[in-house]
Amino acid sequence: MLQTHAHVTRADFALDVECDFYPGEVTAIIGPNGAGKTTLIETVAGLLPPSKSQIVSAGTTLQNDAEGVFVPPHARAAALLRQTPLLFPHLTVFENIAFGPKVARRPRTEIKAETEKWLRALTLEDFRERRPHELSGGQAGRVALARALASRPKILLLDEPTAAFDINVARDFRRLLRHHVSGSEIITIMVTHALEDVAEVADRVVILENGHITESGMALECLQRPRSKFLADFSGTNRVLGASVGDYFDVDGLRLQLRSAAPVGARFAAISPSKVHVGRTGQWEAEVVAVAARGRGYAVTLSRPHGLVAQVSWADFADLPLEIGKKVGVTVNAVDVHAYT
């Protein structure tokens, strides 16, 4: 386990975070720009000057400013991958991957075996003699991941690893990352702005806002039942604030039927936009407030409950009067309303 107590002050920004990370799990760090995400992983990596931080990995203190302990970056068994692969331009793919084992002074036969292992694992055998300028962005990203894993890190840090990839390359990278770190002894911390990274790779999620953790938990549960406005916006889930009364949820003067009695004290309800049905008639009437293209259709924002979003297909959009200011009927089935505390 990695115990992180980071208190970092940089100019007019302060990061104050206490969080634990676990081997074999991927923790996604998300939040708005300037929230402190990169500052957090750079503190764990040892790249920032000590500033009232305490970091303990598997019982070994990496940093404790009060006691004057600071393990330098190269001795932390941590690998950091940036958005740009940063491969050594003068080395081949094979030599880039072999770099970590060489620095660790492993036997020559072990270096070769480890390098061959990751060439195969990330399907890079055909590129072994190429240099970075001869690779595509996706190939370079896989080489950077192979180089990091070949160094046998205890901590793998990723700063927006898929941001520079196209859709298909990003999907392949996420699949490879998940396959090789899930269930391993590696502690993986990933900063991202991509919902797909969280949904497809992460076990846990931590939301940072203005230097503080505002929400955390298991990734899929948090995405489906967001408590913070940021996470609701990030996940595209409707998060409505109201009050539960038995098997109803009251919001904006509406009584939304629940499948069963809500938990005691439930104040939030989560509704997927795809489960909000709009038509000429419905359970209640609302006005169209905004329309925006999203995915394979349109996100239609409604006036009641305030800010509720419906995901409407292209075909349905063309068939309905969904211009701004128009009145529509809205229906949400009880099975699709999830109330929580």
Tens of pLDDT, residues 179-199: 999 989 999 999 999 999 999
Higher pLDDT, residue 242 or 260:
242
Does residue 23 surpass a pLDDT of 80? yes
Q: Please calculate the CA angle 65-71-74 and round it to the nearest 5 degrees.
A: 145
Average pLDDT over residues 29-43: 93
Two structure tokens written together for 34: 């300037």
Position 294 scores a pLDDT of: 87
Two structure tokens written together for 2: 């990695």
Average pLDDT over residues 38-48: 90
pLDDT band of 50, cuts 50, 70, 90: low
pLDDT digits 0-9 by tens, 270-311: 999 999 999 999 999 999 999 999 888 999 999 999 999 999
Amino acid at residue number 173: F
Q: What are 320-327's contacts with CB under 8 Å, separation 24+? A: 320/278, 320/279, 320/280, 322/278, 322/288, 322/291, 322/298, 323/288, 323/291, 324/288, 324/289, 324/290, 324/291, 325/287, 325/288, 326/287, 326/288, 327/285, 327/286, 327/287, 327/288
Does residue 59 surpass a pLDDT of 90? no
Least confident window among 46-55, 128-137, 309-318: 46-55
Could you give the 3-state DSSP secondary structure of residue 300?
Answer: strand
Give CA separation, 22 vs 26, 44, 307, in Å: 8, 14, 37
Average pLDDT over residues 192-213: 95
Parallel/antiparallel/unpaired status of strands 54-57 and 2-10: antiparallel
Does residue 67 surpass a pLDDT of 80? yes
Q: How many CA atoms lie within 13 A of 210 on its CB side?
A: 2
pLDDT digits 0-9 by tens, 96-122: 999 999 999 999 999 999 999 999 999
Determine phi and psi for 103, rounding to 5 degrees. -65, -35
Rounded to two decimals, what is the model's pTM?
A: 0.88
Closest by alpha carbon to 138, among 171, 163, 169, 160? 169
